[in-house]
A and B are shown apart, each in its own frame.
Chain A
């Protein structure tokens, strides 16, 4: 089962550290171009963020974030292989070069940032939440005294459970599982009163696993918001820039009002910022080591961030999440486009 595979994967990742490789002659960009494919870390099934559909085609917000980079680098949104990774495999897999990029609901934390990986550009902001059956009549953390909570390892949530419990003197009883689906099943079977994880993932679980999604309520566990951010290996600044600006291209396109449908129209725009963004005026792509029209190709193939959001987790998806923090800055959200010049 997955346990053996997991240990094997960790062992293999570690074995990667033991072998030769110090001659870091090739950059990640060169490696990816030579291989002709990108390799991305993916989740083990969180519909909306990353999961294969009925035909085995990977879909989700994180998945499309990775496709955006593949388009920028290789010109093909399907030139990506996805490697499903558990919470604790994902960082070693990135550190050891097994994957090129890790867009997998990964919270940007100081400890992670200072330990062999670099974060690029948040593609989703959210809080850690609890999900509970509505029948219990609890909608805020303060009322949860004595509740047992199903937790999956490999995330920041174990620590959140403890912090919340001590701060509010709740005596929460965590039941900790090593794999995601076990934790979710235990929750739905009634083993725990609550399930804790990122609110977006909770919405995904509720939409995909609950018999009656309306019977469950999700509320914040902490007053803090986390930035889920695609990460890359430390030590390759060019690759970090490529990933950052590819994700930024999605956000900037929404800010400019560029969509998949109207992008060819926008090519005729007189606005110098838009012209530089789309590569009509050259310079941006070259600076990154890409072609100048990289942003054009990304939006042409995938649409802008708003379209990605609506399609995967927003109003056009079963998750029906509000834009909330993930709206553009001018709509009261946190998504801030940087200057493409």
Chain B
């Protein structure tokens, strides 16, 4: 009986796994216990109470509203929002750019495909941080100082402090105007589609605008001109008002996008080349145009090959955003650094950052896995 148990694979495996799991749990407890003890012995504060205290430090640009009197917790949220915004834009641009790059490399045009090849070689082989610093250097030296800002169009100013453009200012009553405009547009769309169906497409659109625009202006005037275009004004040391694009954000978004595009381009090219030649030939034999073969036949099949490596590329893009600290864009990493310095609570802050990035990464990969399952070959 005992002998039998000793040779039972299931039992043996079970015992080994139990021992391993027990060891792992013990190790975690040991590490945790030691940490707590060491922290206490060295008189280092622990805990997360500091999250409710006012942060007091500024964040240079934010997607969400932030002021230094907000709490440390909100500072983290604001940093996270910046990270997500940056990741989102980079992934969007790099995916579109990657497709263009892949098509360029695959095109029969020798100049185009060579140039695309050179692009990939250069951007893939220069470290990202070097590229970021390069683009930041360009962004802060390409244009003249703020007082001699270039003014190519009225209201548009280019200086080494960034790009200033006119922006919309929404006064009280803007909501009504926007709501009326949306409602009017919807009504017009439905009306014109039903009663003017006999007319040509172009004429219908022309009619639509001919009614819509004067009506919109009328509503705007009636509401007391609540929405206005505000041009940036040089006020003291800097421009004020209007829209503003900082050199920090420009540098990080350009740098990350160009770098990531080199990778996504190669992934997409690989995916396209993985689709059998027969598909092209079949399409041509049926008289389908080259463009339609690419977008209707080849790309949908290529997606199956593209999506898994693309997932990991998206993940590394999210992680690469932490390099934005080098060019002064305040993403989560920079906020965490500042908080560590202000509160001294390094362990807690790093744990928060770990948790956040783990969550983002797992979410991205779950989303992409779902997408992958959707486009996978269905075998019946």
Contacts and interface: CB of A to CB of B under 8 A. Distances in A.
Contacts of B127: 1
Interface string A107-150: 00001101110000000000000000000100000001111100
B44 interface: yes
B236 A159 contact: no
B341 A154 contact: yes
A158 B347 contact: no
B60 A173 contact: yes
Interface stretch (A10-18, A47-55, A247-255): A10-18
Interface string A160-187: 0111011000000111111100110010
A332 interface: no
B38 A21 contact: yes
A87 interface: yes
Which of B58, B322, B333 has the most chain A CB atoms inside 10 A of its CB? B58
B103 interface: no
A22 B160 contact: no
Contacts of A176: 58-60, 328, 330, 334, 338
A190 B238 contact: no
Interface string B77-89: 0000000000000
B350 A148 contact: no
A3 B236 contact: no
A111 B343 contact: yes
Contact of B34 (A22, A91, A161, A162): A22
Contacts of B344: 91, 111-112, 115-116
A88 interface: yes
A116 B41 CA distance: 9
Contacts of B248: 175
Contacts of B39: 17
A10 B342 contact: no
Interface in B28-50: 31, 34-35, 37-39, 41-45
A170 B137 CA distance: 28
- The secondary structure that dominates the A interface is mixed
Nearest to A112: B344
A191 interface: yes
Contact of A13 (B59, B238, B346): B346
A334 B322 CA distance: 43
Interface in A288-336: none
B75 to A, nearest CB: 11
Interface string B52-80: 00001111100000001000000000000
A341 interface: no
A88 B129 contact: no
B42 A153 contact: no
A88 B37 contact: no
Given A10-B350, A146-B236, A147-B237, A115 B45 contact: yes
B292 interface: no
Contact of A88 (B44, B237, B340): B340
A153 B68 contact: no
B279 interface: no
B145 interface: yes
A114 B129 CA distance: 37
A178 B331 CA distance: 11
A178 B59 CA distance: 12
A176 B326 CA distance: 10
Range, interface on chain A: 35 or more
Which of A20, A144, A173, A234 gathers most chain B CB within 10 Å? Answer: A173
A189 B140 contact: yes
B42 A88 contact: no
A155 interface: yes
Interface in B237-255: 237-238, 240, 246-248
B291 interface: no
A24 interface: yes
Nearest to B323: A3
Nearest to A138: B237
Contact of B31 (A10, A18, A111, A148): A18
Contact of A182 (B68, B246, B328): B328
Contacts of A177: 325, 328
Contacts of A234: 42-43
Contacts of B337: 88, 153-154, 178
A146 B240 contact: yes
B267 interface: no
A17 B43 CA distance: 12
Interface string A233-244: 111000000000
Interface in B137-151: 140-141, 145-146
Contacts of B37: 22
Contacts of B160: 189-191
A166 B83 CA distance: 27
Contact of B325 (A3, A11, A19): A3
B269 interface: no
A64 interface: no
Given A87-B341, A173-B238, A191-B247, A158 B57 contact: yes
A115 B44 contact: yes
Closest 6 CB pairs of A and B: A178-B325, A116-B44, A158-B57, A115-B344, A234-B43, A162-B68
Interface of B: 31, 34-35, 37-39, 41-45, 56-60, 68, 127, 129, 140-141, 145-146, 160-161, 235-238, 240, 246-248, 322-323, 325-328, 330, 333-334, 337-338, 340-344, 346-347, 350
24 contacts: A3-B129, A3-B325, A10-B340, A14-B347, A17-B35, A17-B347, A92-B346, A145-B236, A145-B237, A146-B237, A146-B238, A154-B337, A154-B338, A158-B338, A165-B58, A175-B60, A176-B330, A176-B338, A178-B334, A182-B326, A189-B141, A190-B146, A191-B161, A235-B41
Given A3-B325, A174-B58, A178-B333, 17 more contacts: A3-B326, A14-B347, A95-B42, A114-B43, A115-B45, A115-B344, A146-B237, A146-B240, A153-B341, A158-B342, A161-B58, A162-B56, A163-B56, A166-B68, A189-B160, A234-B43, A235-B42
